[in-house]
């Protein structure tokens, strides 16, 4: 046992940045990760690949190392059809909430790939996993959820690197999904993911491509010292940064 940080098994000294190609690969996964709805292929995901994705998720940070996540793997078409019915009902309710001029555009969007993807993963969070008092969760009650979202993002990025698409579906009544999957009441439903190999990834968010909403310039979201103060000259660097080209 040592109290030193672990030496990397990738030929790096502790504290070294990644080699250039590896660094680029990390940013490329981040920049090209997409939410996938319609481009799923029926090809099954083999267990070794699925295990890598789940292991990536399980390496996420978590409040007090509580690891509040569980992953329900859903392959049966019968179960996925039940979930799609839950989606359809919620999606009708959702459409009605948008103003009339947006409603038809909303209805034209494909917002799930539950039965077209060969596999679904329901990711949950157990607020009691870390015990009655969790280090780091004493003053921010939703930190178990934040941790579980980190796990989903890890899985999403790893999937992109594997050429596997992920589509997150949240237009669902969580109580009904939990009942369909036998998930106990006290467990929180965080993400319902459609997972599968894809015919391709959009190069921009599909919602942007379809004119629903655009990505906000980052400089508008970074505040210098206090809320509302623009981060000049950092803002110039932010405007120049293009993650996709790693420049």
Ligand X SMILES: Cc1cc2c(cc1C)N(C[C@H](O)[C@H](O)[C@H](O)COP(=O)(O)O)c1[nH]c(=O)[nH]c(=O)c1N2
Query: Which residue ranges make up the site for ligand X (CB under 6 A)?
Result: 34-35, 37, 111-112, 168-171, 205-207
Q: Minimum distance between the CB of residue 176 and ligand X, rounded to whole angstroms?
A: 15
Q: Minimum distance between the CB of residue 34 and ligand X, rounded to whole angstroms?
A: 4
H/E element, 192: strand 188-197
Q: Minimum distance between the CB of residue 116 and ligand X, rounded to whole angstroms?
A: 12
User: In this complex, which beta carbon is closest to ligand X, that of residue 150 or of residue 231?
Assistant: 150
DSSP 64: G
Residue 161 main-chain phi, psi, to 5 deg: -65, -30
Length of the chain: 247
Q: Minimum distance between the CB of residue 35 and ligand X, rounded to whole angstroms?
A: 3
Q: Minimum distance between the CB of residue 165 and ligand X, rounded to whole angstroms?
A: 10
User: In this complex, which beta carbon is closest to ligand X, that of residue 36 or of residue 187?
Assistant: 36
User: In this complex, which beta carbon is closest to ligand X, that of residue 142 or of residue 231?
Assistant: 142
CB 106 within 8 Å of CB 94 = yes
User: In this complex, which beta carbon is closest to ligand X, that of residue 207 or of residue 218?
Assistant: 207
Question: Both tokens of residue 115?
Answer: 């039965």
User: In this complex, which beta carbon is closest to ligand X, that of residue 144 or of residue 206?
Assistant: 206
CB 83 within 8 Å of CB 192 = yes
Q: What is the C-alpha to C-alpha distance for residues 7 and 15, in angstroms, rounded to an integer?
A: 9
Residue showing tokens 């059809």: 81
Residue showing tokens 């994705």: 53
């Amino acid at each position: 046992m040592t109290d030193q940080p672990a030496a990397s098994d990738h030929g790096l000294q502790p504290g070294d940045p990644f080699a250039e190609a590896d660094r680029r690969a990390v940013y490329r996964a981040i920049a090209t990760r997409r939410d996938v709805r319609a481009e799923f292929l029926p090809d099954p995901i083999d267990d070794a690949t699925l295990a890598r994705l789940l292991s990536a998720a399980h390496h996420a940070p978590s409040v007090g190392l509580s690891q509040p996540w569980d992953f329900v793997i859903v392959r049966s078409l019968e179960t996925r059809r039940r979930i799609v019915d839950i989606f359809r009902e919620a999606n009708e309710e959702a459409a009605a909430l948008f103003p009339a001029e947006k409603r038809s555009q909303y209805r034209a969007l494909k917002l799930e790939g539950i039965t077209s993807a060969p596999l679904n993963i329901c990711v949950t969070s157990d607020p009691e996993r870390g015990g009655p008092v969790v280090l780091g969760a004493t003053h921010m009650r939703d930190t178990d959820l934040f941790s579980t979202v980190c796990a989903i993002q890890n899985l999403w990025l790893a999937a992109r690197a594997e050429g596997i698409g992920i589509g997150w579906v949240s237009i669902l009544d969580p109580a009904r999904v939990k009942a369909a999957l036998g998930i106990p009441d006290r467990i929180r439903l965080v993400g319902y993911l459609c997972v599968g190999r894809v015919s391709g990834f959009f190069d921009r968010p599909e919602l942007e491509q379809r004119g629903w909403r655009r990505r906000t310039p980052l400089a508008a979201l970074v505040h210098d010292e206090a809320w509302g103060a623009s981060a000049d000259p950092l803002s110039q660097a932010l405007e120049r940064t293009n993650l996709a080209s790693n420049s």
